[in-house]
Structure 1
Amino acid sequence: MLRKSGVFATLVGASFLSAGLVAALPAAANAQDAAACGTERKIDIAEMTWPSAAALAHIHAIILEHGYGCSVEIVTGDTVPTSASMISRGTPAVAPELWTSTVEEAWERGIADGIVVKLGDAITDGTVEGWFIPRYVQEKNPELTTAEAVIARPDLFPDPENGDKGRLYSCPPGWACELSTSALYEAFDMSGKGWNLFSPGSGGALDASIARAFTREEPILFYYWGPTSILGKFDAVQLDLGPVKPDIYACNTDTDCTDPPGITAYPSSPAIIGAAAWLSKEAPAIATYMAKAGLSNAQISSLLVYGDENKADAAETARNFLKTEQELWTSWVPAEVAEKVRAFLN
């Protein structure tokens, strides 16, 4: 009887021990994940309202969650509210494509106060903004490399509604680039040189006009910016507008400026990977990864083409990038992290 009791007690004890070990496994796994990630805090990533930033948010979310084992949440964001919240509250933790030119003073103050940090450049070669023509037009007219050269040939870019004049497709109404493009149109005296300035009405209408011209291999002179799927899909050549003159550009885009419009190139706006300072302190491995995770204009425009052609959302676009550009993104992370992400994707 005593032996039976002893055996029973041993079995019961072993059973409780096994149960304890099983119960401890998730906790141990979570501890390992936290160690790999570097922080037990949730890393919230701002998904901005434009396609490139939204796709980048999902790319980072997948790598952080499934590669590093971080607790991740994607939150809605936009330049001004996201940067203000990061500076005042330390959240969201990451803004994968933050255009700091519109919040420059507050952002620099946040860096000086040790509240936020720049982890790296989101767009390694800077954003693009300017006037473009199709490459097939330039190949037939190799002298068309500057705005002045194109302006001298309105006959090559006829207005569909008035063939005696050329047409410059402007920026959509209400956007800051509408002011800058209109100012350049005036500064170049394009009206007097046989040109009409055409307002497309919306970003979608501008895209449709560009796509139609390229599909038909027709000439078109248009304002555009990057990175975007349009510049990823179509082979467009940016025209030389001369040097950037910050004072002139500032006046051109200020409705209260009384000086006459001047000629200047569009400045390239910095687009960074911004973060709350606590992230780089608590999770240095994550900060190191993100410092390497910049993409060029061409690379971002290319990844956006998939989303545009397949009507894919940001999450689907991110997964396609991670599946098709493994040589690129695996250079950002250690091999074991890359393997975990691959396992998730498969």
Structure 2
Amino acid sequence: MRAKITKMLASAIVVAGVAGFAPAALAASCDTDRKIDIAEMNWPSAAALAHIHATILEKGYGCNVEVVAGDTVPTSASMLAKGRPAIAPEMWTGTIQEAWDKGIADGAVKPAGLAISDGAVEGWWIPKYVADANPDLKKVEDLPAHKDLFKDPDDPSQGRFYSCPPGWGCEIANAALFEAYELEESFNLFSPGSGGNLDASIIRAFEREQPIVFYYWGPTAIMGKYDMVQLEMPAYDAEVWNCNTDSACTPKRKSAFATPPVVVATSSWLSEEAPMVFEYLGKVSLNNVQISQMLNWGAENKAGAKETAENFLKTEQDVWTSWVDAETAEKIKSAL
């Protein structure tokens, strides 16, 4: 009888031990000692997402994380050539499509999943009040006839088109379209210098109800706040677009912007060395409304990317806790 009891106790200890270790086995972990650098792209949504993922990976997964500065072209080039940064939370692949596709084929990069679940939009825009007052201004081809409406304050003989800041993929695409539409004779291609300056120029024009023609994208706080109209372009043509985004390719031709999925981009080593992190990144998709709400809070409170991310983590727990297991979620909540 004593032997039987001893055997039963031993079995119970084994079962208890297994049960005790089970949660630890299931709990999220970083799996790698290598530093995970996350690109903070130079636009609000991507910057906020970088800090959201940095907090979750550091506080929940125990990763060694660093947020680094980035933009579409230099970040993608570095990921393809050097495997750094490890993560780009919002990669718009349309302006780097050929290089991106080759990088996937070569095994240099790997998309973890969608960053924006219901897609994104890019194009050239005017305020609705400008469109209403100028019903003949519907297409990009109509711009030369309206150059005086959009006078460049530094060169009144020309109109001003507000393009992308240096280093953004859309800078190359806009320059190509400018050439394809032969707008150099009537418009100056104006670089705002930074995403913040572009936003400020657009906001100032809308608040004063002044004419402005500009490149922009969504989801963004500005697109959600102001009523704007997209100028028409011919349908997207992949062959044309690939040439337009290659500075060495000629001639430049007319095409709407590519609208491929906006992905969470990773250097391929991440999925091999940190599979749980890669799995997490496959769950983090947000829709346009969620991103716009996050950015609107940031804009209204004049908050930076890190503050905007902290607010999202504190107020949208129903959203982000679905990306992680319960134990990891509690670690993150405790750290906030």
Residue in 1 that maps onto 2:91 = 98
Would you say 1:119 and 2:112 are equivalent positions? Answer: yes
CA drift of 1:321 comes to 1.6
- Structure 2's unaligned 5+ residue stretches are 1-19
CA drift of 1:160 comes to 6.9
CA drift of 1:227 comes to 4.7
The verdict on how the C-alpha distance between 1:342 and 1:143 changes in structure 2, with shifts beyond 3 A counting, is farther
Report which of the two structures shows the higher radius of gyration computed on alpha carbons.
1
Aligned positions of 1:27-106 closer than 5 A: 35-42=26-33, 44-51=36-43, 52-66=45-59, 68-76=60-68, 78=70, 92-100=85-93
Residue of structure 2 aligned with 1:244, choices 233, 236, 239: 236
CA drift of 1:171 comes to 1.4
Partner Cα distance (2:109, 2:165) in 1:
34
Residue in 2 that maps onto 1:169 = 161
Would you say 1:131 and 2:124 are equivalent positions? Answer: yes
Partner Cα distance (1:185, 1:88) in 2:
30
Residue of structure 2 aligned with 1:224, choices 207, 211, 216: 216
User: TM-score scaled by structure 2?
Assistant: 0.69
Partner Cα distance (2:83, 2:171) in 1:
35
CA drift of 1:74 comes to 1.7
Residue in 1 that maps onto 2:306 = 315
Code of the aligned partner of 1:96: P
1:59–1:319 CA contact under 8 A, matched in 2? yes
CA drift of 1:132 comes to 0.6
CA drift of 1:134 comes to 1.8
Partner Cα distance (2:173, 2:74) in 1:
25
Code of the aligned partner of 1:313: G
- Structure 1's unaligned 5+ residue stretches are 1-28
The verdict on how the C-alpha distance between 1:144 and 1:303 changes in structure 2, with shifts beyond 3 A counting, is farther
> C-alpha offsets along residues 258-284 of structure 1, whole Å, 9 cap, x if unaligned?
53x532212236532133555445655
Residue in 1 that maps onto 2:7 = none
Partner Cα distance (1:165, 1:297) in 2:
39
Residue in 1 that maps onto 2:205 = 213
> C-alpha offsets along residues 165-187 of structure 1, whole Å, 9 cap, x if unaligned?
88442315756645644554554
CA drift of 1:71 comes to 2.5
Code of the aligned partner of 1:55: A
Partner Cα distance (1:342, 1:289) in 2:
17
Partner Cα distance (2:321, 2:277) in 1:
14
Would you say 1:235 and 2:235 are equivalent positions? Answer: no
Partner Cα distance (1:314, 1:215) in 2:
24
Would you say 1:273 and 2:264 are equivalent positions? Answer: yes
Computed over aligned residues only, the root mean square deviation of the Cα atoms, in angstroms, reads: 4.3
CA drift of 1:337 comes to 4.0
CA drift of 1:315 comes to 1.9
Code of the aligned partner of 1:73: V
> C-alpha offsets along residues 75-113 of structure 1, whole Å, 9 cap, x if unaligned?
425356755666677665433233445665665555456
Code of the aligned partner of 2:324: V
The verdict on how the C-alpha distance between 1:155 and 1:318 changes in structure 2, with shifts beyond 3 A counting, is same
Partner Cα distance (1:85, 1:179) in 2:
18
Partner Cα distance (1:47, 1:53) in 2:
8
Code of the aligned partner of 1:288: E
Partner Cα distance (1:210, 1:202) in 2:
14
Aligned positions of 1:139-158 closer than 5 A: 146-148=139-141, 151=143, 154=146, 157-158=149-150
The verdict on how the C-alpha distance between 1:49 and 1:33 changes in structure 2, with shifts beyond 3 A counting, is farther
The verdict on how the C-alpha distance between 1:31 and 1:70 changes in structure 2, with shifts beyond 3 A counting, is farther
Q: Secondary structure at the match of 1:37?
A: coil
CA drift of 1:73 comes to 1.1
1:55–1:317 CA contact under 8 A, matched in 2? yes
> C-alpha offsets along residues 28-71 of structure 1, whole Å, 9 cap, x if unaligned?
x99966751244424614133414333212111222333x4432
The verdict on how the C-alpha distance between 1:200 and 1:88 changes in structure 2, with shifts beyond 3 A counting, is closer
Partner Cα distance (1:65, 1:174) in 2:
31
